[in-house]
Amino acid sequence: MSSDVKPFEELGMKVADALGAGPSEETVMLQRRDFLEQVSQSQRAPRYQRAAGIAAAAAVLAVVLGIIFKMNAKDPLPFWIGQERNPGAEGQWVRAESQALLPIRFQGGSEVALSSQAAARIITADTEAVRIDLASGKVSCSINGNRHTEWQIAAGPYTVHVTGTVFTTEWDPAHSKLDVAVSRGSVLVTGANLSAHGVQLAVGDHLRVDGEKALIALNPETESTAATEDEEPLSGPALLTVEPPVRENENLLDEPIPTPAPNRNGTVRGLRAPAQKAEPDGSDEENLDKMLATGDVESLWQIAMQARYNRNGGTAKTVLLTIRERFKDSKRAETAAFVLGRVFQELQGSPRTAAGWFRRYLDESPNGPLAEEALGRLFDVYDKAGDEASAARYADQYLALYPSGLFADSARQVLKN
């Protein structure tokens, strides 16, 4: 009997492997918030069970109607300031005078908390976009991303673009210093002397920029080390000198920054309104199949980048692998290896597979425009996966090639550990 089931078991294993274990961590966070919000709402009703059912039915109906009628209205997004929950208004300045955090709570569960003496202004707050101008100091953000509202924190000449994240941003206007650290999700930081298309930060990434000295450090030494050396985080261990990156034919970074498709509705439940863009964006299954089979490399590339930006790791992975298969000798195929590493690292939660793809990029394009970043991310991924020997080996290799590179500080830390 065992030989009868072996082909099915093998097929089943491959299907399980291809599917993965479930959605991304960020999706699970959204599920959690959605569920607890409903629990909280139902607590106010006299009949808990009935309210849960009615709320669920009403929410589903609202989402379905939103899809059918393509509701695109841009409504104000209410927010409240402080523990007293005073209603806020667009254009309003907010300053944290006391030692305690000053929270700004937005409808939908997002929160931006100003540290002591921080000052910020809410430029825009509606369902399409929330833009906050951080004049000085530090904010801690927990953004409940819904793929519908674009969040931006402007800090001097820099902008932090957010989808659904927990992170901090600190801006020192007197010294033009920016500090961004991500503990969940990802952000894109643009502006000033950064790359033309910004620096994307994922979980655990920490960016420090000194605009005066043109210093940029990604994942510098850890807080515990820095804090003992200097109370002022931004003037901790020496930052690195980085020439503003001038990358020719840089396949990854010469793409326009993908913008989220506007007015996607109901995404906390996983339902998406039809995208407003005319070109296929991967949400239409039949179109995607057709594109995978017959689309040109540039169209497929756009789909992959959009999927990645939307944190749709499965689609991004499939399209990138198709590019590598159908357009083997193209530059996109080379870059796809690097991007696959990023997808497996950030969206699929598979550090070893990510490492494999970074290594493949380095094998195929040892002098490619992303070689330095691939090597930097390679030892970083091994480090996070707990493979100290591999992390040390590649960190050593990185420092030999790029002693003043973007990841040099992290490499030294890995070797020290």
Partner 1 sequence: MYMGMLRKDTNEISRVVRLNRKHMSDPDIVSGLVNRDEQAAAALFDKYNTKVNQLVWRLLGADSEHNDVVHAVFVHILTSVKNLKKPESLPDWITGIAINTVRREIRNRKYRKIFHLVSEYPEAGMSFASDGTQVPVKRVFSILGEMKTDDHIVFVLRFVERNTLGEIAASCGYSLATAKRRVHKAREEFIKRARKDAILSGLIKDVDHVF
- Token pair recorded at residue 258: 């993908």
- Nearer Cβ to partner 1, position 162 or 242? 162
Q: How many residues bind partner 1 (CB under 8 A)?
A: 81
Residue 412 binds to partner 1 (criterion: CB under 8 A): no
Residue 34 binds to partner 1 (criterion: CB under 8 A): yes
Residue 48 binds to partner 1 (criterion: CB under 8 A): yes
CB atoms within 10 A of CB 215: 16
CB atoms within 10 A of CB 34: 16
Q: Locate tokens 């193209």: which residue?
A: 330
CB of 246: closest distance to partner 1 in angstroms? 33
- Nearer Cβ to partner 1, position 74 or 290? 290
- Nearer Cβ to partner 1, position 316 or 374? 316
Q: Which of residues 354-393 bind partner 1 (CB under 8 A)?
A: none
- Map residues 321-350 to x or -, x wherever contact with partner 1 holds by CB under 8 A: xx---------------------------x
Residue 312 binds to partner 1 (criterion: CB under 8 A): yes
* Type and span of the H or E element at 131: strand 129-142
Stretch that binds partner 1, among 121-129, 188-196, 315-323, 329-337 (CB under 8 A): 315-323
Which of 149, 127, 5, 9 has its CA nearest to residue 78?
127
- CA–CA distance, 77 with 129 (Å, rounded to integer): 9
Residue 60 binds to partner 1 (criterion: CB under 8 A): yes
- Nearer Cβ to partner 1, position 283 or 413? 283
What Å distances lie between residue 155 and 88, 179, 267, 405, 409, CA to CA? 21, 10, 29, 25, 24
**Measured in Å, how far apart are the chain's first and last C-alpha atoms?**
52
Which of 265, 311, 315 has its CA nearest to residue 288?
315
CB of 245: closest distance to partner 1 in angstroms? 27
Stretch that binds partner 1, among 24-32, 191-199, 208-216, 390-398 (CB under 8 A): 24-32
Stretch that binds partner 1, among 87-95, 256-264, 314-322, 381-389 (CB under 8 A): 314-322
**Alpha helix segments (H runs only) across 282-330:** 285-294, 297-309, 313-326
Q: Give the one residue of 147, 148, 177, 272 binding partner 1; rule: CB under 8 A.
A: 272
Angle (deg, nearest 10), helices 297-309 and 313-326: 160
CB of 243: closest distance to partner 1 in angstroms? 29
**DSSP for residue 214:** T
Residue 297 binds to partner 1 (criterion: CB under 8 A): no
Q: Which of residues 102-121 bind partner 1 (CB under 8 A)?
A: 103, 111, 113, 115
Helix (H, G, I), strand (E, B) or coil at 369: coil
- Nearer Cβ to partner 1, position 218 or 399? 218
Q: Locate tokens 């907010």: which residue?
A: 94
